[in-house]
Each structure stands twice: as C-alpha cells, then as structure tokens.
Amino acid sequence: MKYVSFFLGIVISINCFSQNKYQSKNQLELIHFDNKEAYKSFSLSETNIMNGVIKKANSVALIVSKPFAIKIEDIQPFLSFSCGWNEDKNAKDKKNSSIEIRFSNDGINWGKWQELNEDEHSSNTKFQLVSQLVYAEKETRFYQLRIQTNLMLKGCIIKDLFLNFFSPGNVPSKPNIKEEQTQTASRTTACPCDQPTFINRTGWGCTQGAISYSYTTVTHLIIHHSAGSNTSSNWPAVVLSIWNSHVNTNGWADIGYNWLIDPNGQLYEGRGGGNNVVGAHFCGFNTGTMGTCMLGTYTSQNITDTARKKLIQILAWKSCNSSINPIGTAFHATSNLTLNRISGHRDGCATDCPGNFLYQNLPALRTDVNTYINSVCNATTIADIQGLEDLIISPNPTKGFFTINIRLNSSKLMKYSILNSDGKILYTSGSKQIGSVFTEQNNILDKYPAGNYVLKIMLDNQSLVRQIMKQ
C-alpha cells in the first residue's frame, strides 16, 4: 500500500507496507528549513532568523510555526507523535536545537507546550536525532511547533524536521490471550522453565508482512523502560505506536524490543522472527542480546508487582532456554564490555534507561530470577524421591486453607516452604522427623491474593515442588 505524506502542503506518496488497513492512520511531514518557500509556509514568527538563514551567529534563534491541521480523519484511541531531525553539518553537538509541540481540539484553545526529548534508544536511525513518543487525546485536530535553534551559538540552525502523527485505530485494549498467545520455544532439559503466555503481534495490531531477520546466540538479557506514561487505557495501542515510531521515524525494519511488558503484567511479543532474533535496542550492540522493555517511566518509582513477576518469568525462561546464569557476568563481544548477564540499557552506553529506580533494583531482580528457576521451575516427580509413595494437596485450587498428605515407606526429615510466583518465601515450617504417614493443615494463603503459589517440600536432602492455585 502507500502512506499519504504531507510535505508542507505538497502531497506525495511513499511505499511503506502492503496493508491497506494503515492508509488513514499516518500523517508524515518533512520540513526543509533551507528552502525559503517552504520555510515561509511553515513559519508564523521568528527571531534572529529570516527565510531559514540565521542573522546573528552568537544568538539563539526561535521559530514558531503556524497552526496546522492534523489530517487523520478518525483518531482512535489516541494520537501518538514522534519526530526526527537533522542539524546543520557544522553543528555536531546534539544540543543545538530544542523542539516543543502543543495540541488543540479546535484551533483556538491550546494545551501546554511539550518538549520533545531525545529517544534514548535511537541509535542507527535515518535522522541525526529522534524524539520520544508523546500522546494526545483522540479529539486532537491541530498542532503547533516551537523550535529554539543555534543553542551552541555556532551559527548553525536546524536543517530539516520529520513529523510522524499516528492513530493506532481500534486495537482491542484486552486481546484474548488464549487466541493471541503462541509458544514456539520449548523447555530445555537443564532448566524446565515454561515460556510465559503473551500477546503476539496480531494481538497488538501489527500487520507488518514478513521481512528478513537476523539471529544470534543470546548471552545477555537487557532491561529497558519506554520512558512514556505509566498509565494507559489501551496498552496494545501503545505497543503499536512504538512499532510505528521505530519503523517510520527511526527507519528500522521492525520494533526494536524483543519483548514488552505493561504495568498490568501483560507480556507482548515485540520484534517478529521468533526466538533469538536480533533486535534494535542496545546502543547498536544488539548481537548476543534479548531486549525487554517495561512500558512506562521508572526514574523515581519501580515497576508494579505484577509487571515484575512477568519480567522474572520471561527472564527465567530465556535464562533456561539459552543456558544463562542470571546472577553471573560474561564478556559481551559486540560491545567489548564485561556485563552482568541481566543488565540495564545504560550499561552499554550513556542513557538514563531503564530509569534510576528500576536500575537500582536490578541486583535484587537477578537474585529473584535465580530463585524462581531453582524453586519454581525445577519441579521433581514423586518417582524421583526415594521412599516417597504419595503426595496429595487438597483442596487445590484452594481459597486459602489446604492439607498436605504424605505417605512414605521409611522415616525422613521433612520441612516445607510456601513461595509466591516470583520465588519469594512466604512461610517455612520447622524441620521434623516423619514416619510412614504425615498430615498437616495450612492456612497461610488466607492473607494473600488469588494467584499461583509454590509448595516446596524437603525430604532429607531431596526436594519436591508443587503448584498451588488460590482462587
């Protein structure tokens, strides 16, 4: 199909994808500041600049655009926006220009100016700089830009500016997991962690056709945050907006992350191609990595408990799948750095990602992933435990109260623990010598929410793990 692009009123078309579904979802605009006629069409007011030429090299220049209409007919469920820009070839510093945008529903009443911060994941893009995504309500119909340039006082102004307005469309806010999940990667015999269920690309609205992907042996697991809002009425539409920005603004072949997790703990398949596909997320050093993005900003707050549990599960699965020690370190050849096996984006280059608070919690996360693997994934069968004839946990599912029944053919030293789904110990019994029959009642789960829990039983030096579901 063809996207319709508006280059300062001159309508042209560019080939992008083959799905007519996206015909009316994008508005793409390219503004050339070194074209006098185009500049006049764009500029409403200016200081220290005339027709795209700076007048005083030692002063900052300000450009305020005319109000422009957004030409997307039906914006749903919100409008997303990102931009890319190039500086004058003599302006090598990234801080030579700052760009702000504001929106209006009627062209009369305007919202606040929003500064467009540089996207921390924007290496190897088609523009010198690209912005983070910003969002506006679906009633938005007009926009206006304010640009300060020549901030380095070297007589250099912004060269061109690319605008990407996008309406995700009617993406279901809660896709059916049973229909949208796929489980292509299997357990390994060394570590039997299941791959957690996820919303696949169709589920979050991506209709991108097949492209050529590269694959790698994953050695490091990289954690990101999207640096966007921590709340949304439609997280699948947010994922689709990130894909659109990565493809149409950054110029990448696909979304950069391998996985994304929203604050509700829902996991999304990111880049297509399946397990071990090379993404675009780690400072240009993507070979050997898997990138997981936590949707939201985690500079001054941590991810939610439900999101953290899902992060632990996907990291535990991939650690098993690729024989990665989650608490270890290893040399990463592409970046020429020795990194923790589970690292933050900032460990590879200068960036705040994944946010100060989340980054400071990575040591605890590594430990919890390791605990999850050892306590939850490595379940043992009754036949593997010498002398154990039967184990019954009832009722299971439970409302909080359950009974443990054990039958042995010889006396053993026994104790047991109850853990939550991310491996945290909630209760540990005392050690006791038990005979041929053991029965004990437990109501510890009365005070915990519904969900999946783990019962870990130690018999002498052998362990047995069972899942308990609380309704």
Cβ 131 vs Cβ 100: under 8 Å: no
| Most confident of the ranges 5-14, 82-91, 290-299 | 290-299
Kindly report the pTM of this predicted structure: 0.80
Cβ 142 vs Cβ 101: under 8 Å: no
Q: What is the 3-state secondary structure (H, E, C) of the chain?
A: CEEEEEECCEEEEEECCCCHHHCCCEEEEEEECCCHHHHHHHEEEEECEECCEECCCCCCEEEEECCEECCCCCCCCEEEEEEEEEECCCCCCHHHEEEEEEEECCCCCECCCEECCECCCCCCCCCCEEECCEEEECCCCEEEEEEEECCCCCCCCEEEEEEEEECCCCCCCCCCHHHHCCCCCCCCCCCCCCCCCCECCCCCCCCCCCCCCCECCCCEEEEEECCCCCCCCCHHHHHHHHHHHHHHHCCCCCCCCCEEECCCCCEEECCCCCCCECCCCCCCCCCCEEEEEECCCCCCCCCCHHHHHHHHHHHHHHHHHCCCCCCCEEEECCCCEEEECEEEHHHCCCCCCCCHHHHHCHHHHHHHHHHHHHHHHCCCCHHHCCCEEEEEEECCCECCCEEEEEEECCCEEEEEEEECCCCCEEEECCCEEECCEEEEEECHHHHCCCEEEEEEEEECCEEEEEEEEEC
The answer, yes or no, to whether residue 8 has pLDDT greater than 60, is no
The answer, yes or no, to whether residue 202 has pLDDT greater than 80, is yes
Q: What is the C-alpha separation between 435 and 418, in angstroms, rounded?
A: 22
Q: What is the C-alpha separation between 38 and 159, in angstroms, rounded?
A: 12
* Nearest to 443, CA basis, from 409, 402, 404: 402
Cβ 87 vs Cβ 156: under 8 Å: yes
Q: What is the mean pLDDT of residues 374-391?
A: 72
Q: What is the C-alpha separation between 145 and 53, in angstroms, rounded?
A: 18
Q: Any idea which of 27-36, 254-263, 336-345 has the lowest mean pLDDT?
A: 27-36
Better pLDDT: 90 or 225: 225
Alpha carbon separation from 125 to 86, 256, 325, 375 (Å, rounded): 11, 11, 33, 43
- Encode pLDDT of 210-224 as tens digits: 789 999 999 999 999
Which pLDDT does position 92 carry in this prediction?
66
Pairing assessment for the beta strands 342-344 and 220-225 based on DSSP bridges: parallel
* Nearest to 187, CA basis, from 373, 333, 40: 373
Residues 6+ apart with CB under 8 A from 458: 413, 414, 415, 416
Tokens found for residue 131: 């912005």
Cβ 457 vs Cβ 449: under 8 Å: no
Burial environment of residue 298 by CB neighbours within 10 A (0 to 12, 13 to 18, 19 or more): buried
Q: What is the mean pLDDT of residues 260-276?
A: 96
Delineate the domains of the chain, giving CATH numbers in brackets: 2-166 (2.60.120), 177-377 (3.40.80.10), 382-470 (2.60.40.2550)
Cβ 225 vs Cβ 256: under 8 Å: no
* Nearest to 192, CA basis, from 468, 467, 469, 425: 467
Q: What is the C-alpha separation between 87 and 98, in angstroms, rounded?
A: 11
Cβ 300 vs Cβ 356: under 8 Å: yes
In 262-271, which positions are buried (b, 16+ CB within 10 angstroms) versus exposed (e)?
Answer: bbebbbbbbb
Count CB-CB contacts under 10 A for residue 276.
Answer: 17
- Encode pLDDT of 87-109 as tens digits: 987 776 678 999 999 999 999 99
- The pLDDT mean for the chain works out to 87
Q: What is the mean pLDDT of residues 237-241?
A: 98
Which pLDDT does position 401 carry in this prediction?
92
Q: Per-residue confidence at 192, pLDDT binned at 50, 70, 90?
A: low
Q: What is the C-alpha separation between 356 and 187, in angstroms, rounded?
A: 33
Tokens found for residue 45: 């007011």
Q: Any idea which of 183-187, 399-403, 439-443 has the lowest mean pLDDT?
A: 183-187
What is the biggest distance separating any 2 CA atoms in the chain, rounded to whole angstroms?
94
Burial environment of residue 291 by CB neighbours within 10 A (0 to 12, 13 to 18, 19 or more): buried
